[in-house]
Every structure is written in structure tokens, then in C-alpha cells.
Structure 1
Amino acid sequence: MSSDYYEILGVARDAGPDEIKKAYRRKAREMHPDVSDDPDAAAKFKEVSQAYEVLSDPQKRDMYDRGGDPFGNGAFNGGGFGGFGNFGGSTGGFDFTNLVDAMFGQQSSRGPRPRTRRGQDALVRMNLELAEAAFGVTKPISVDTAVVCPRCNGSGSEDGSEPVTCGTCRGLGEVTHVQRSFIGDIRTTQACPTCNGYGTVLPNPCVECSGDGRVRSTRTITVKVPPGVSSGNRIHLASHGEVGPGGGPAGDLYVEVNVAPHEVFKRDGDNLEMVIKLPMTAAALGTEIELPTLEADLPDADPESKTVTLDVPAGTQSGTRIAIDGAGVPRLRSGGRGQLGVTLLVQTPTRLDEQQRELLRELAEVRDETRPEGSVQKHGRGVFSRLRDAFANQ
């Protein structure tokens, strides 16, 4: 490859820092010995890295542009790169973490992490009856979560002493390991195993929480469920989640609602659906039926709201749905309520005594239906769908 650093990276002599960095990432990915099949990949990768080291440093770049030696220690003649033993000239080794940052645009977390941090959010599930979900309820739930340690009050220290600087990382929160390779010394950085990245250690950690400042505990929280919720809805309780390490602020708690099936009513959005069996004579003559409402499941509801009167017109056919407005589920985010839909199933008697049988024969003769001719009815989806759903819910 050429010894012209600008030509090596493929940039103009007036290229800016961002352009130089992008060019280096591209070339480094192409020339890295672990990626490239080129037998000269190691040498080319060395030149690309050398070019970037010079052109990315304003002082070294200025010296190079003036014709000087930016390293000042014979690195151009092999002193700094002999046998790849001192990759990077004055750096004394090759920092693998910096290479990853340069190639992929990532920034490693440097420095110690704080002991006090925000806690995680938590999710619990609450089972509700249909009436509770429809009209709202306030009820307690048990949550197994992290709380502030009662022994150390979140400090993590047994005797209230302050943390001291870690002797392994000297307060940096991280340690560097050097490994020899064919491209030189590769340095990798990771969290300090002694202080776990905090940069400090507790001389006398709390025996209850082992220095974390929090413990697991089951606590009871009262949840107010608004009217109209349905399965899958979540209630957000700010700052009721897990307490953070070091007694940090708590995360949020999300309560997911699960509504149990009802033995009479089936919910469809804001509507309630129910099926009523009706004798053939009542359907033919018409009648009034007293029906229970969902309020009947509430012990403290107004007695008048626990029933509703359904007017069945004469000649009602099986599968007919009659809607009662305002008797369904309260709408979650707006006023009003849905419908109570009542699907009627007309029942034909199966056991008749002789008197009943004779009366039906007389009725058939009067209506000229002793030998009726069946007529083909083009069915509509609505009637049969209602009948199917009605029988499925019996």
C-alpha cells in the first residue's frame, strides 16, 4: 500500500474528522485479519490503523502535513511497529475496545457506575369479575417486589460508614486486560470484579441486603379500577414498582386486568349479550319478561336497577335479538353505556298430554296447517349467526 496516509484511507487532504473516521471504519472492516482473506491483511490493517492514528490527531496531522515525524520515536521506520509489539506507537499497545468503538460507532461506558439507581418497572395481573370490571372497584393486591432494606435504610452499610475507593480499579470501576496476539497487545476493558463497576466498596456491608440497599418483600397495594376496563387493559401506578439499588427511586407498577367469564352475560365491547328461552305460546301471543341486569351481582346496588322488563311482541321468531339501550357496560373513556342484547330462543313442546295435543290439532285445522308445505328460506347471515351463538352459550 502507499505510504500516503490520505491515500491509504481514501480521503482528500482537506477531509474533516468525521469523513476520516468513516473512512477508517470502512477500511478497518475490510482489512482486519480476522475478516479479510488477503494474505497481506495484517500489514494493510497496520497501515490503515497508523494512518488513522495520525490523521485523527490534530497535532500529529499538522506535523505530518508539514513533513515531520508525528511520533518522534522512529515509529515510521519500524521502531513502534516492530513485530507488532507496540501497535499504536506511543500508546504502548492496541486497545480493542477503542477499535470496536471506531468501527461500529459505539461508545463504551467508562467510569464507575452509581450505587443509587432507579428501580425496574413491575407487572402483576389482577383477576376481576365481570361486574367489577364493568362498574369499577377498589381492591388490594399482593406484590412481590424489592423494597428499601429496613436494616440499613437503603445505604447498604451495616454501620453507616461511607464507601471507600476500590483498591483493584482505583475508583475507575473497570479493569483492563492485555493479551498478546499476532497484531500486537490487545487490551480489553470490563467491569471491576471487586467492586462490580461501582469504583467503591463498602467496608462493612449490611448483613440483611448484602450491601444492595434493598430486599425482596411482599407488600399490599390498593388498586382503583375504573369502570369499563376489559381483559388486557393495564393500570399504571407510578413509583410503585421495584425500589432501585442503593435505595434508589422505585420504578412503575403495571396492573394487567383479566376478566373472568360470566355464567349469564357475554361481553361484546360495551354491550352485554344474553340468551332467553321462550315458550312457543308466549312467542306467538307476546309477553313481558322480567330479566336480571349485571347490577344484580352488586350487593349494594339499587334494587330497581337489578332487573329490567323486556317487552316481547306477538309473533316473535326464534333467534330474534331485542336491544335494551343503556343496560350494557359503562364506556371506559366516555359517558354512557352500551346495550343489553337479548336473543330469544322459541321452544317447541316435546311432551304433550291428550288435551294439549287436541288443542294443537284444532289450531292446525283453523290455520290450514294440517299438511303444510315446507318453503325454502334464503337464510341471512345475521339470523343463523345469532342462533349459532345462542346455542353455543346455553
Structure 2
Amino acid sequence: MAKDLYEVLGVSRDATEADIKKAFRRKARELHPDVNKAPDAEDQFKELNEAYDVLSDANKRAQYDRFGTIPGAAGGGYGGNGYVDFDDLFGGGFGVGDIFSSFFGGAAGGGARQQRTEGRDMGVGLRLTLEEVATGAKKEIVYDRLAPCPDCDGTGLGENGKEVSCPECGGKGRVVTVQHTFLGDMQTATTCSKCNGTGKTIDNPCPECEGQGRVPDRQRVTVEVPVGIRDAQQLRLTGFGEAGLRGARSGDLIVTCRIQPHEFFERDGDDLHCRANVSIVQATLGAEIEVDGIFEGEKVKVRIPEGLQNDQIVRVKGFGMPRFRSDARGDMYVHVTVVVPKKVTKKQRELLEQLAHELGEDVSEARTPLQKLRDKFN
């Protein structure tokens, strides 16, 4: 971004977090494509949001102040961090622009449709590693939502403001119009355009939220991921969804856990599957080998039985994933591959030939140096 981010937001370099939020909301109302019909309104709004994405994050802002640029800031998403999948937001991929659209649509006089008072649930996907699932984790989620207005504490009331019955509909929320036709009088009931169907308006509304009691804001919340959670399992954070209108109940934040593939383990319920290699001697005579466990530094001893066959599975009880809300663990299943050496020494070949003789098996005779040389040229 070539432009100065502080200039884009219209704040000084020593602006506080609250100053930055207020400036962002003020300019977003001016530049949002729903209210600004300028040809470049969408580009200006995107530029504003990218600036806010940097300056509202303490770490990104510190880097910007020091180096003047933020690598990848413009493509980093609207307020998200590396762990959040915003495709699930509101069940349909809402970003800052959509939240402002919802804000403008819900403002007093914003349209002749029934206004929703309670906040909607929101959803995000949280990416986790298998190790984090095994040990439990605390993850910070950064997302955008309509939050309670800090200036009026969510009431929507300005100084000396009060909620009154809508003078347009008399507090009914609907307006009845009568149309005279040759068939007689036709009555039509429509949602009141002044109060959006709530039956209430505000004298002296809060200038920050325009009487809604909520404003677009960036929310940070820490999610405690329980041990043993399954892929696609959801966590509900009560009250962290969209704020309700003028103090109405807020929605919830639904966090869907997405577990990333592991390079060594494959999870099957509470069990873990992995692969290990053994030599033909270990497979024949039996052995004890070690494989890494799911916990850091954990070593699991695997007993290889005599006469083990290639791709045979060895079960190790109690070394799988921790069970959800339990002290128990699943099992580990080790898929064993018998590795045949590509080259052997002369002594090793002699020993293998003796073994073949004992077992009554036919094997290829030892090749002379001349035969080996011919093989290379052929």
C-alpha cells in the first residue's frame, strides 16, 4: 500500500486504539458502496479496511511504524489471523463490507422491512494441529462483528435521548394504506419505514451508532480448545456473535474446529495409525522398535512378533489420542513394512545362502565380477 495508512484513516500517528476505531467507523460510513455512489467508492472502502486491518492490530501497527510496510497485509483478510477460516462467517462469508451493509440496513429509516432486534449467530472455522488437539490449546480469534456501542453502552441513546413510540405508525410497526379502486377500497399493510417495524424511534440518538446501540467493530476472543476434540466439532461462545439492537440479546459465536492432516499420524476416532519399517531379520526373529508418540518427546515401544509379514499391523494399547473429556487414550496401530536390502556384502550373501539351503529354497547363484560388469554395460 503506497498511501500512508494513518492518512487513509485520517488519524495522527499517536492515535489511540479508540481513536482508530472511531475514525474507521466514521469514514466507512462515508465510503461504503451502499451509501457512496462514487465510481471508486468500493476501492476506497477496500483501501480503508486494509489500513484498519493493520493499525487495529498492535503487532502489525508496530511493524508498520518501524518498517513502513507490512508484508502480506493487503491480502491478510479482514481482521483474521492465520487460524481462522472466514468462509463460515454468518454461514456465508461475511466480511467488513457485509457487516456495514447490515449496519446500514438496520439503521432508523434504512428501509421498509421488518427489523431484526436480536443479534445473529456467527460462525468461524478454527484450524488446529493434531498435537494441539492432543494437549488442548488456547487460540485467539480476531473477527469483525456488530458489537455493543461503547459510547452509549448499547442503548442507542444520545445525550438526553429517550425511546418513544413511532409517530408514523403509532407504535404498531406497520402502516395501513387504503387504495380506492372500481372494485372498492383495498387495504395494504406494510412495515413502517420510519421505525423498520419496531414501533419505536429515538429522540436524540447516539451519534456513534445512529441509535442502533451497536457498531461494526473488531473483536478478539480467546478460545479454549478441549483435549481430544474431533474434526468438525463445534464450540459455542455465548454472546460473542452479532450484538442485538439497542440492548437486545446478542448472538453466539460458533467455532468449528478443523484438524489439519498430520505428516506421520492418521487419526481414526481416538486411535492413531502410523507406519514403521523393519528389516527382514527383525521381521523373522522378532524385535522391539521405537516410534514417536503424539506428545512431544514421547517414545512408544512396539513389539514386533516373530514371523511378521509385510504390511502387518501391530496394536499398541493406550498410545492413541486422548479421549474427549476423559483421562483415557485410544490405541496406536503401527503398519509395518518389511524392508529388503538392495545390496548385501559378500559375508551377508553367504549367510543368506546358508539360510536358503536350510529352508530348502532355490536362490540365484553368486555373480562373478565379469557378469556384474556385463550387467552395467547392458
The interval holding the TM-score normalised by the smaller chain is: 0.5 to 0.7
Q: Can you list the C-alpha shifts for 1:61-119, whole angstroms capped at 9, x where unaligned?
A: xxxxxxxxxxxxxxxxxxxxxxxxxxxxxxxxxxxxxxxxxxxxxxxxxxxx9999432
Measured in 2, the distance between the counterparts of 1:231 and 1:338 equals: 16
Structure 1 position 165, deviation (Å)? 3.7
Structure 1, gaps ≥5 residues long: 1-112, 297-302, 373-394
* 2:335 counterpart residue number: 343
Q: Can you list the C-alpha shifts for 1:138-175, whole angstroms capped at 9, x where unaligned?
A: 22222322211112222223324113443322333221
Q: Can you list the C-alpha shifts for 1:116-145, whole angstroms capped at 9, x where unaligned?
A: 943222212111110211332222222322
Summarize the Cα distance change of 1:142–1:318 in structure 2 as closer, same or farther, 3 Å threshold. same
* 2:355 counterpart residue number: 363
Structure 1 counterpart of 2:322, which letter? P
Structure 1 position 213, deviation (Å)? 0.7
Measured in 1, the distance between the counterparts of 2:183 and 2:278 equals: 89
Structure 1 position 255, deviation (Å)? 1.2
* 1:127 counterpart residue number: 127
Structure 1 counterpart of 2:242, which letter? E
* 1:281 counterpart residue number: 281
Measured in 2, the distance between the counterparts of 1:155 and 1:122 equals: 22
SS in 2 for 1:281: helix
Structure 1 position 182, deviation (Å)? 5.3
Does residue 1:321 correspond to 2:313, yes or no? yes
SS in 1 for 2:205: coil
SS in 2 for 1:158: strand
Instruction: Verify the 8 A CA contact 1:116 1:248 in the aligned structure 2.
Output: no
Q: Can you list the C-alpha shifts for 1:19-59, whole angstroms capped at 9, x where unaligned?
A: xxxxxxxxxxxxxxxxxxxxxxxxxxxxxxxxxxxxxxxxx
* 2:224 counterpart residue number: 224
Measured in 2, the distance between the counterparts of 1:313 and 1:155 equals: 72
Q: Can you list the C-alpha shifts for 1:253-305, whole angstroms capped at 9, x where unaligned?
A: 22110011111110001100111011112211221112111012xxxxxx5xx
* 1:331 pairs with one of 303, 323, 329: 323
Alignment of 1:269-308 (within 5 A): 269-296=269-296, 306-308=298-300
Measured in 2, the distance between the counterparts of 1:273 and 1:119 equals: 43
Structure 1 position 363, deviation (Å)? 2.2
Structure 2 counterpart of 1:226, which letter? P
Structure 1 position 217, deviation (Å)? 1.3
Structure 2 counterpart of 1:341, which letter? Y
Instruction: Verify the 8 A CA contact 2:238 2:252 in the aligned structure 1.
Output: yes
Deviates more, 1:354-363 or 1:336-345: 354-363
Measured in 2, the distance between the counterparts of 1:159 and 1:335 equals: 56
Does residue 1:152 correspond to 2:144, yes or no? no
Structure 2, gaps ≥5 residues long: 1-112, 365-378
TM-score, scaled to structure 1: 0.59
Does residue 1:254 correspond to 2:282, yes or no? no
SS in 2 for 1:204: strand
SS in 1 for 2:206: coil
* 2:215 counterpart residue number: 215
* 1:352 pairs with one of 344, 357, 369: 344
Summarize the Cα distance change of 1:364–1:115 in structure 2 as closer, same or farther, 3 Å threshold. closer
Structure 1 position 243, deviation (Å)? 1.4
Structure 2 counterpart of 1:322, which letter? V
Q: Taking every aligned residue pair, what percent have the same amino acid on both sides?
A: 38
Structure 2 counterpart of 1:216, which letter? P
Instruction: Verify the 8 A CA contact 1:274 1:341 in the aligned structure 2.
Output: yes
Structure 1 counterpart of 2:239, which letter? S
Instruction: Verify the 8 A CA contact 2:114 2:196 in the aligned structure 1.
Output: no
* 2:372 counterpart residue number: none
TM-score, scaled to structure 2: 0.61
Instruction: Verify the 8 A CA contact 1:135 1:329 in the aligned structure 2.
Output: no
Measured in 1, the distance between the counterparts of 2:328 and 2:299 equals: 19
Instruction: Verify the 8 A CA contact 2:115 2:197 in the aligned structure 1.
Output: no
Structure 1 position 307, deviation (Å)? 0.8
Summarize the Cα distance change of 1:171–1:313 in structure 2 as closer, same or farther, 3 Å threshold. closer
Measured in 2, the distance between the counterparts of 1:331 and 1:129 equals: 16
Measured in 1, the distance between the counterparts of 2:266 and 2:224 equals: 24
Q: Can you list the C-alpha shifts for 1:176-224, whole angstroms capped at 9, x where unaligned?
A: 1223445422211011112222333323332221211101212221222
| Cα root mean square deviation, aligned | 2.4
SS in 1 for 2:194: coil
Larger Rg: 1
Measured in 1, the distance between the counterparts of 2:340 and 2:293 equals: 27
Structure 1 position 327, deviation (Å)? 0.6
Alignment of 1:1-394 (within 5 A): 117-181=117-181, 183-296=183-296, 306-370=298-362
Summarize the Cα distance change of 1:181–1:353 in structure 2 as closer, same or farther, 3 Å threshold. farther
Summarize the Cα distance change of 1:371–1:116 in structure 2 as closer, same or farther, 3 Å threshold. closer
Summarize the Cα distance change of 1:231–1:116 in structure 2 as closer, same or farther, 3 Å threshold. closer
Structure 2 counterpart of 1:326, which letter? G
Instruction: Verify the 8 A CA contact 1:128 1:257 in the aligned structure 2.
Output: yes
